[in-house]
Structure formats: C-alpha cells, structure tokens
Structure 1
Amino acid sequence: MASNCATMLSKIKIPLPDMLNAVLDLDSSALIIDQIKNLIKICRSKEEMDLLRNSAGGDKEMLGKFEEIFGELMKVPRIEPKLRMFAFKVDYASRVRDLRIWLNTIIAATKEIMGSVKLLRIMQTISTLEILGGSNAECVLTSLVRLSDNVDLMHDFYKLVGEKMPELLDFGNDLVHLEAASKIELNAVAENMQQLYDIEREVDDEFIASENDGANFVGFRNMLYDFLGRIDADAQLLNILYSEAVSYIITFG
C-alpha cells in the first residue's frame, strides 16, 4: 500500500499548495488531469491515512512525504469532492460537445432521409417493382438494408434505375450525415446524458455542502455556482436535442 502511494506521489510534479489553489480556482488550464486523479486516489479517510503511515515503517523520507501531502489535503474541507469537481470541469466541455455532435448528427440524418426527393422516388420504385413491398417512411432504412443483402435484386434494381432514372443514382449525396449517424448508438448517448445529470447532482451537493466552509473558500463556491449554472443550461439544451432526435427515430419505427 505504501509503495503504491509513493508511486502516485512521485507523479505529482508541482508543489501541492499550487495544485490545490488551481483546484479551488477550478482552473483546468493549470493542471494535468492525471495529477488530479492521483490526488483523488490518495485522498483517504483518517483511518486509511494512519494505516499508510504505519505501512511506511521506518522510512523517514516516505513518512515525510505522507505527512506533507496529507497535511495539505486536510486543510481543505471535503477535499475529495472538490478534486472531483475539478476533474469534472476538465473534461466537461468535450463531454457536452460530443453529445451535441451526436444528437445533431442524428437529427440531420433523419431530416435528410425525410426530405430527399431522390430517396422517395427510389422507395416508390422499389414498391412498384414489388421487390420488398411497402413504401412508407417506417420501412425506408430497413428496405434499403434488405435490398443490399440480396445481390441479384440489387443488380436488377440498379440496372433499372441506371437505364430509366440515372438521375437518382447519386441519391446518397442527399444523405451526407447518414453514415456518421449509423455509427452512433442511442443507448450510448442516453448513458452519457445520465452521466451529465449525475455530475450536475454531485456538483449541486458540493455547492450546498460548501456553504459553511469559511471565507477562504468563498471563491471556490462562487465558481462552483457558475459551473452549476453552465451545466444546467447545457442540460436543458441537450434535453431538447435528445427529445427531437428520439421523435425522429420513432418515425422510422
């Protein structure tokens, strides 16, 4: 246990007071996230810290490092939640950006499918030829997939379209977001949305808990309040996008 802790401590390359100041300022530009993760790992209960001290034996250098680190950490009320707030903020922007890209891609792809005149004509042709049967919006994607699985039907279909309706052969140009959307799993999007809600709840809990931390931590609480407002605004927008994406997907069954 002591050796593991010593390894983690060795990875902290800047003075701990400077690191803690950056954490309390929620200054994500000042630190590397791995350093914060290492601090979170060694933020233990008093009993665990005592166990670590004992496991160091007579190694005065290691004991000195433990005492220095733990002493600084214990100056900050609820240090582990505060470190977690910082860790959230570091990757928060990319997390929200990814969600917006995924949802907007799904929405764009479904709008393209619904608005493509060429795709509609192709589906009408499929229905007319009674290749698959049915031409309503719910079976558009399924029909195309089933058609592509049958080499003979696909050959006959493209021959017909190529000879009679060559202007439809580039219908894929109407569906520029379809390939990207096909790689997005809605369940994964929902899981990431839930993680965002969990983060918001945890930030709110720390904001409430920090009310009595004292004058030295007023700045941290104010920044946490701003962060909470940002999360809330982003969550509302993402909820709108998610609902829109789901409603379009339901259209296709």
Structure 2
Amino acid sequence: MTFRLTIVVDNKAADTLCAEHGYCLHLQTPEGNILFDTGQQRAFLPNMERLGLDPADISTLVLSHGHYDHTGGVVDLLKMNRNIDIYLHSAVFQPRYSLDGEAPAIVRMPFAAMEAITLHPENRIHWLSRPVAVTSFIGITGPISRTNDFEDTGGSFFLDPEGRQVDIIKDDVAMWLHTPDGLVICVGCCHSGLVNTLDYITARTGEKRIATIIGGLHLLSSSRERLAKTVAALRNFEIGKIVACHCSGEEAVNYLQEHLTTEVVWGQAGMVIEI
C-alpha cells in the first residue's frame, strides 16, 4: 500500500511554483485522491498543473476549517469537478475576524467559495459532527476535544469585528492515515492545538505510533511557556517526523528542532512524501 503526499500550496514554495499564505495538501491513495484544503486561490490551479495533478481526478475534498487561506481555491476546484465528495463542519460558513492587527481583518471563507459549496450536489456534501472513515485506512476527526490547559486557537479570533464574541474555531478538523509505520496525521492550522489533536486521534485509533505529522501547527504567536509544555507533551508520543508548514512560525519550529529528538523539517509547495 503506497501513499503519495504532495504539498500543493504553502507559504514557501520550490522553484517554478507559487507561494502564498495558505495551505493545500494532495493525497494519492489506493482508494482515491484526496485534497486537504485549497489555499487562498491564486496558487492553487497553477501549482496543481505544474505538479501534474488534475482537479478532475480528486474524489474527496476535506476542509480543515473555514478560513480564507484554506478555502479560496474551492471555487476553481468545484468548477472542474462536480463529482467530488466534500467533508466539512457546518461552522465553516461563520463570519470571522482576526484582531491581531490595528484593525479587524476579515478571515472568513470567501463568499464565492460558500456559494460553490451550497450549489454542489447535496448528496456529495458530508457534514462533520464526529469522526468518520473516508476509506478503510483514512479518517477525519470531526470536532476535536480540547482537554489541556495550555493550548488555544493560536490567535485573536472573533465572530464580530468588535471582538465581543470569541471564535473558538470549532470547525477545526484533522485527518489521519493508517500505515505500516504508524499514523500519518494531516493538520490544516491545528487551531484545536497540536497536543489536543494528537491525543484525540491516538485515543480513537488505538495507534500510538505516529510516523509523520504534516501541516500548519499555528504556533507562530506561542509563548515560550506554551512551547515548553508542547515539547514536554510531544515527548510522550512516538513521532518519527514533523513537517511544519504555513502558520507554524519560524521561532516555534526552531524551538521544536532544538528541543525534540524527532526530526522536524519545513514543508513547502512541491514537497512530496511517499509512504
């Protein structure tokens, strides 16, 4: 059984590929091709073409959450593929703002992407309220329990521009693949927290070995205290490799590299991992 994971969109990119603030991962599996997020939009189709990946060949789209930098390419994808199955949480459509800057920034899913999803065949849309199996060896978490006291969403996120209603990003989901070497865990932004995500997936699968973690870790604004607690918790897992992407944060990744014996590397658009 062979899996081929290709990073299509990321903040960093190999030569000839477009980089943008966003994330998209393509998974080629024996039971169909899966797309995990779609980036903002600009880099999605050009990078797919340059990587030799055909949107029409994708059987499943999984949206990790409803931020613009993970959902913008949905419009182009659904124009080219009306037969794709979409897995997402209903909260992806919420109004969303980031108050990390001087003025509120709109970070919701673009309206065009929302419309494309609502016009997609109803029998092809799967609302995530609990863990589900996409294939015999691939699962999606659904909402992730948040049980530790040191992880948060990783930013100043709200459902209103005045900052009165905190957005806990309850639609944040992750994926896992069962492989002979253990789990491959795919995360979009990990707004539920990396440790919460690992706890949730390993408890439900019964598999303690984690071959690879790939995706955005959203540790870019984390305090040293949170990073120290994250490292201490990660040491309790048997992790082979971490491929940090998108929103992981330079300082945070450097910290993980310095304090973990696990291999920690940066991902970029064009990176291919075969398992």
TM-score by length of structure 1 reads 0.23
Radius of gyration: which is bigger? 1
Query: Would you tell me which structure has more strand in proportion to its own residues?
Result: 2
Q: Which has the higher contact order (CA 8 A, sep 6+)?
A: 1
- Tell me which protein shows more helix as a share of its residues: 1
Give the TM-score, by structure 2 length. 0.22
